[in-house]
């Protein structure tokens, strides 16, 4: 028997929805191994998150709520998480893959002397124990079966590979753990967060994503596909080439080294379909590609391919969809 | 200012890869190997810091003899000297961090720059594990690095979900490079020639006192099911009809 701790990500004191993938993975793994599952929330003034975390049927919520944890740094949060996890005999520590967990979990793994496995796609259990994981390597061209030999294992969980945990009727008990971080010992300080204000959904949350690539020729091209995105309440994504060119913010990059998405509908416009891009979207339910080159590799995986110049096709598409919607 | 930078030898991102018949790893025969693209960015940043601050750039790679090619490539970009940690066998990110910890304790660099992830295994863990082992602060996913005038801190703009963060870390520190940090320079022919004369020190993991014991091992590789392509539509109207009636997404 080993317990599972799931570290939840908070934003402005509230639970980030993507965390629910790790919550689901962790609660299921605990059940399969007759262990207990605990959700861990860390921050300052996080009553809302504590309440929210208590609704998913975990055996408990561990809350580290202290003024010294206002504002995230990996240094402070790794210490806080470690103190909290020590109170449980955790064999597995999980968090959904994100900039937050990628920054934090390797540090935490060292504190726990744990092996670290990134961006897992599945958890295998055998005879009441977690026996392995699968994860993608080489830009998703290979799936690796991975085993961990350490007593504690820390893993990030690919959001698109696990369903979100569903709320249940009974609330989990919340146990506070008191941790005070002496900021002066950290030698690290967050000076500023520069948020990209956008009325669109986050890439990870969106059920429709409209992405643009180098073929859009410039930021004006993105204006064109935004009209398409508006019809669906979609998130905007981009290829690396479009981001490198500075046409859209960096965090819109979809792919191996950007965001991994699997929406209900993914529309790729002016994107050739390099393996690094496909790594970030090929599990989408329906893929539409618009590209003027009939031989573009994106057509090999698209459900519906339209060979056309986007500048003509996209406005037409917007009009046609409006007619039938 | 001394800057330590790591380079991992990885298969060319463009390479078509095949799995060994026993599934244990990829076939490496005939595959081109390069410096991990994120490490190239890390080398470039190390050079830029050196050019502003004066000092030295030390390049480290871990693996068997062939990784000296990647050290040479970084020296040709402008690195001053190399450290080749001779180790053949499987390792995980924790092992890499353990090895690098020993190197850092010997070299005492002010800044350590690594790639945010190795593009072969996409683990993205070694740098932050190293930071924790050393008790150093970290600035992950850097897109801009400034050393403060007093040379005591680095002010790093880093890529986070939904925007950017400016984080200040005291030196010595760990920085991991993201894609938009810089564009790595090409090594000129004269610099490639010069790099051949630059010193590379060879050390073994035994000499460093590190026992490599991967906590995480790859047992088997398989290819994921291929997604089947669909159809090319004739027109925008045709596309809309199919999206409405077949895919039912409108
Ligand atoms: C280490 C590393 C990591 C990487 N990570 C990522 C990643 O995470 N995500 C990612 O996307 N890429 C990534 N890449 C880059 C990737 O290899 C490709 O270079 C990139 O995806 C290409 O972007 P693109 O398709 O927009 O551009 P291109 O390959 O140049 O394709 C542009 C396409 O637009 C089409 N086009 C041109 N004009 C029009 C028009 N008027 N109408 C319609 N179509 C038109 C062209 O036919 C072409 O197919 C990475 C590369 C490396 C080396
Ligand atoms: C040729 C080869 C064969 C392998 N065979 C196996 C095998 O059969 N079974 C198995 O389980 N594992 C094997 N591995 C190891 C394993 O797949 C990963 O490399 C391991 O998980 C470590 O991840 P990482 O630290 O490189 O990744 P990351 O944490 O993503 O690396 C981050 C950064 O750390 C630095 N770094 C990482 N590694 C090195 C290095 N060697 N030298 C210098 N800097 C480095 C780089 O700056 C890199 O950008 C093999 C590795 C190689 C290179």
Task: Report yes or no on B229 lying in a domain.
Answer: no
Q: Write out residues 123-142 of A within 8 Å (CB-CB) of B.
A: 132, 136-142
Task: Report yes or no on B47 lying in a domain.
Answer: yes
Do the Cβ atoms of B13 and A98 come within 8 Å? no
Residue B199's pLDDT band, with cuts at 50, 70 and 90, is very high
Domain total for chain B?
1
Task: Report yes or no on B190 lying in a domain.
Answer: yes
> Chain B partners of A132 at a C-beta cutoff of 8 Å?
219
Q: How many CB atoms lie within 10 A of CB A219?
A: 13
Digit-coded pLDDT (tens) for B82-110: 999 999 999 999 999 999 999 999 999 99
Digit-coded pLDDT (tens) for A150-169: 999 999 999 999 999 999 99
Model pLDDT, residue B114: 98
* Full residue range of the structural domain in which residue B43 is found: 2-224
Assign residue B144 the CATH number of its domain.
Answer: 3.40.50.620
- CA-CA-CA-CA dihedral for A262, A265, A271, A276, to nearest 10: 10
Q: What token pair was written down for A110?
A: 């060292």
> Chain A partners of B240 at a C-beta cutoff of 8 Å?
317, 320-321, 323-324
- pLDDT of B5 strictly over 90: yes
Q: Give the start-end residues of each E strand in A149-285.
A: 153-157, 174-176, 188-195, 208-212, 235-238, 265-269
Whether A284 and A261 have beta carbons less than 8 Å apart is answered as: yes
Report, as ranges of residue numbers, the positions in chain A whose pLDDT lies below 50: none
Model pLDDT, residue A127: 85
Model pLDDT, residue A1: 54
Top-confidence residue, B222 or A183: B222
Model pLDDT, residue A259: 97
Model pLDDT, residue A128: 87
Task: Report yes or no on B236 lying in a domain.
Answer: no
Model pLDDT, residue A325: 85
Task: Report yes or no on B159 lying in a domain.
Answer: yes
Substitution target from B96, B116, B125, B217 for chain A, most A beta carbons within 10 A: B125
What lies within 8 Å, CB to CB, of A303 at 6+ separation is A286, A287, A288, B229, B230, B231, B247
Q: Is the ipTM of this complex over 0.90?
A: yes
Q: Write out residues 210-269 of A within 8 Å (CB-CB) of B.
A: 240, 243-244, 249-251, 253, 256-257, 264-265
Rounded to whole angstroms, the Cα distance separating A288 from A268 reads 6
Whether A231 and A318 have beta carbons less than 8 Å apart is answered as: yes
Task: Report yes or no on B233 lying in a domain.
Answer: no
Point out the residue among A103, A140, A249 whose CB comes nearest to the CB of B128: A103
Which residue matches tokens 């037409």? A316
Model pLDDT, residue B231: 96
Point out the residue among B116, B139, B219 whose CB comes nearest to the CB of A147: B219
Substitution target from B146, B165, B222 for chain A, most A beta carbons within 10 A: B165
Q: Write out residues 77-116 of A within 8 Å (CB-CB) of B.
A: 78, 98-100, 102-107, 109-111, 114-116
């Amino acid at each position: 028997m080993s317990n599972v701790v799931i570290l939840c990500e908070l934003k402005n004191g509230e639970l980030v929805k993507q965390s629910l993938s790790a919550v689901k993975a962790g609660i299921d793994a605990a059940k399969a191994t007759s262990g207990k599952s605990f959700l861990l929330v860390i921050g300052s003034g996080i009553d809302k998150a504590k309440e929210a975390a208590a609704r998913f049927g975990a055996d408990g919520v561990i809350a580290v709520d202290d003024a010294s944890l206002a504002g995230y740094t990996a240094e402070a949060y790794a210490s806080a998480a470690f103190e909290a996890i020590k109170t449980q005999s955790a064999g597995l520590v999980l968090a959904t893959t994100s900039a937050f967990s990628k920054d934090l979990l390797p540090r935490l793994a060292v504190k726990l002397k744990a092996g670290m496995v990134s961006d897992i796609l599945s958890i295998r259990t055998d005879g009441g124990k977690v026996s392995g994981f699968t994860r993608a390597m080489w830009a998703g061209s290979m799936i690796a079966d991975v085993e961990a030999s350490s007593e504690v294992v820390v893993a990030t969980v690919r959001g698109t590979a696990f369903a979100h945990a569903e709320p249940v009727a009974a609330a989990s008990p919340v146990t506070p753990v008191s941790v005070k971080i002496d900021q002066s010992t950290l030698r690290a300080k967050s000076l500023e967060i520069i948020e990209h204000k956008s009325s669109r959904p986050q890439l990870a949350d969106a059920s429709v994503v409209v992405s643009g690539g180098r073929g859009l020729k410039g930021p004006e091209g993105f204006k064109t596909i935004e009209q398409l995105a508006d019809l669906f309440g979609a998130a905007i994504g981009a290829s690396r080439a479009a981001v490198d060119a500075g046409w859209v913010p960096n965090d819109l990059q979809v792919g191996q080294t950007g965001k991994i998405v699997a929406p209900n509908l993914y529309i790729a416009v002016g994107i050739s379909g390099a393996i690094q891009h496909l790594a970030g979207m090929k599990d989408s339910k329906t893929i539409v590609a618009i590209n003027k080159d009939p031989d573009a590799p994106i057509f090999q995986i698209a459900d519906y391919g339209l060979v056309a110049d986007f500048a003509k096709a996209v406005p037409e598409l917007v009009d046609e969809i409006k007619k039938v919607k | 200012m001394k800057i330590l930078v790591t380079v991992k030898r990885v298969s060319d991102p463009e390479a078509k890869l095949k799995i060994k018949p026993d599934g244990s790893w990829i076939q490496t025969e005939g595959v081109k190997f390069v410096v991990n693209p994120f490490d190239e960015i890390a080398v470039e940043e190390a050079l830029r810091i050196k050019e502003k601050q004066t000092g030295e750039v030390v390049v480290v790679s871990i693996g068997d003899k062939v990784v000296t090619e990647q050290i040479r490539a970084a020296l040709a970009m402008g690195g001053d000297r190399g450290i080749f940690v001779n180790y053949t066998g499987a390792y995980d990110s924790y092992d890499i961090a353990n090895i690098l910890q020993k190197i850092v304790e010997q070299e005492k660099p002010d800044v350590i720059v690594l790639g945010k992830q190795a593009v072969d295994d996409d683990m993205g863990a070694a740098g932050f594990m190293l930071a924790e082992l050393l008790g150093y602060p970290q600035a992950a996913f850097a897109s801009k690095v400034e050393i403060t005038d007093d040379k005591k801190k680095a002010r790093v703009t880093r890529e986070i979900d939904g925007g950017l963060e400016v984080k200040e870390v005291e030196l010595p520190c760990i920085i991991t490079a993201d894609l938009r940090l810089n564009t790595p320079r090409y090594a000129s022919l004269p610099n490639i020639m010069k790099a051949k004369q630059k010193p590379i020190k060879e050390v073994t993991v035994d000499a460093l006192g590190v026992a490599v014991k991967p906590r995480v091992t790859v047992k088997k590789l398989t290819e994921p099911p291929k997604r089947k392509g669909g159809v090319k539509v004739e027109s925008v109207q045709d596309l809309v009809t199919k999206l409405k009636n077949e895919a039912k997404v409108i």
